[in-house]
Amino acid sequence: MTAVDYLIIGGGLAGLSAAAALAPRGRVLVLEREEALGYHSSGRSAAMFEANYGPAPVQALSRASEAHHRAHGCLNPRGLLLVGRADQAARFEADCAELDLTQISVAAVCQMVPVLDPEQVKFAASHDAAQDLDADLLLQGFARELRAHGGDIRTRAAVTGLDRSTAGWQVSCGDDVITATTIINAAGAWADELAQMAGIAPIGLQPKRRSMARLPAPGGHDVTTWPMIMGVGESWYAKPDAGKLLVSPADADPVPPQDAYADDMVLAEGLARYEEMVTTPVTRVEHNWAGLRSFVADGVPVLGPDPAVASFVWCAGQGGYGVQSSPAAGRLIADLVTGQTPDIDATNVAALSPERLR
């Protein structure tokens, strides 16, 4: 039998950021049912740091996370470029306002990214402050911080039972029974299933698939300095990666919790939307994959104790914002659990709370 103060179920960035923040405050154990940390969403993201991306509570978390990213060397210059066709003027203007982008000339953007087709690209805008975010470096940093404070991580550790008593929780995992004062539910797409196992009402979590293809550098160009390129309405995006180009249809198709894989038709449609805006056709896909981004109805993460059972803490529903917002989200969980004043303002704390869904 193992006894801990805080048992965190889920070894992605959501769970590990909370674990690292809680480790100086008590005994922490992380359980991850896969063979490696960050196996699902955290390891399959084309991670970027863009502070203007997402609803207001997400932006607050992202801005509060930036100092951590910089201090740990997780950010690198990239930039964001939005491109649109002649018939997309209204949506282009809306995207520029939402993301605080600066319009630039089509000539300038085609010089920046020489494969863009000036016959198709009629609107362009950019934001130089958007940066690459090294998700693996971030995740491994949280794991080191946790272990440095005496915390532990178990992989291949599936939870098979969750029972609550007046003394806390008893969690069955393999041959062990773990007792914990507090459970942090960071199970990603499976967070509602875990809650139901614990007798807690679900929050209406919906996993959505996001597909990705890795292409050779188009036309043999050096893509190293290219920005991330996004179609109007986030209808597709392309991002340089290790001399290659990652292209996504930016799909968000509802699926059950699963080890996600790319749908060939969805991927083909996304690649066609990308090809429409460039002069170099896609001739080969080197690799493709998919990940899950999980949302509740209002699209805002769910962070904090369950209103009915305070010792069951939600760290779920991060959507497409979980990587960039994870340092502040983990600190918020730790502060709420230990009764400290969060560094996020009260309005946004309330907007993130599970209470809004009950």
Specify the pLDDT at position 163. Answer: 95
> Confidence band (pLDDT; 50, 70, 90) for 43?
confident
The model's pLDDT over 150-202, given as tens digits with 9 standing for 90+, comes to 999 999 999 999 999 888 999 999 999 999 999 999 999 999 999 999 999 99
More confidently predicted of 47 and 5: 5
Above 90 in pLDDT, residue 204?
yes
Specify the pLDDT at position 166. Answer: 82
Above 90 in pLDDT, residue 44?
no
Specify the pLDDT at position 101. Answer: 95
The model's pLDDT over 72-105, given as tens digits with 9 standing for 90+, comes to 999 999 999 999 999 999 999 999 999 999 999 9
Specify the pLDDT at position 196. Answer: 97
Strands 28-31 and 2-9: parallel
Specify the pLDDT at position 182. Answer: 98
Torsion angle in degrees (nearest 10) through CA of 47, 51, 53, 58: 100
Question: If we measure between CA atoms, which residue out of 191, 209, 203, 204 comes closest to residue 41?
Answer: 209
On whether the CB atoms of residues 12 and 42 are closer than 8 A, the answer is yes
Mean per-residue pLDDT over the chain, rounded: 95
On whether the CB atoms of residues 262 and 211 are closer than 8 A, the answer is yes
Specify the pLDDT at position 336. Answer: 98
Above 90 in pLDDT, residue 42?
no
The neighbour count for residue 181, using CB atoms within 10 Å, is 16
The model's pLDDT over 53-76, given as tens digits with 9 standing for 90+, comes to 899 999 999 999 999 999 999 999
What average pLDDT does range 236-246 have in this prediction?
A: 95
For each of the domains in the chain, give its residue range(s) and CATH number, in order of start: 2-60+135-204+298-357 (3.50.50.60), 80-127+206-295 (3.30.9.10)
Q: What is the 3-state secondary structure (H, E, C) of the chain?
A: CEEEEEEEECCCHHHHHHHHHHHHHCCEEEECCCCCCCCCHHHCCCCEECCCCCCHHHHHHHHHHHHHHHHCCCEEECCEEEEECHHHHHHHHHHHHHHCCEECCHHHHHHHCCCECCCCCCEEEEECCCEEECHHHHHHHHHHHHHHCCCEEECCCCEEEEEEECCEEEEEECCEEEEEEEEEECCHHHHHHHHHHCCCCCCCCEEEEEEEEEECCHHHCCCCCCCEEEEHHHCCEEEEECCEEEEECCCCEECCCCCCCCCHHHHHHHHHHHHCCECCCCCCCCEEEEEEEEECCCCCCEEEECCCCCCEEEEECCCCCHHHHHHHHHHHHHHHHHCCCCCCCHHHHHHHCHHHHC
What average pLDDT does range 315-322 have in this prediction?
A: 94
Specify the pLDDT at position 358. Answer: 85
The neighbour count for residue 115, using CB atoms within 10 Å, is 18
Specify the pLDDT at position 47. Answer: 86
Give CA angle at 337 (13, 348), nearest 5°: 75
What average pLDDT does range 21-39 have in this prediction?
A: 96
The model's pLDDT over 220-230, given as tens digits with 9 standing for 90+, comes to 999 999 999 99
On whether the CB atoms of residues 326 and 17 are closer than 8 A, the answer is yes
The neighbour count for residue 308, using CB atoms within 10 Å, is 12
The model's pLDDT over 123-137, given as tens digits with 9 standing for 90+, comes to 999 999 899 999 999
Specify the pLDDT at position 110. Answer: 94
Specify the range with the lowest mean pLDDT, choosing from 35-49, 145-159, 248-262. Answer: 35-49
The model's pLDDT over 272-288, given as tens digits with 9 standing for 90+, comes to 999 999 999 999 999 99
Above 80 in pLDDT, residue 46?
no
Above 90 in pLDDT, residue 15?
yes
Specify the pLDDT at position 40. Answer: 84
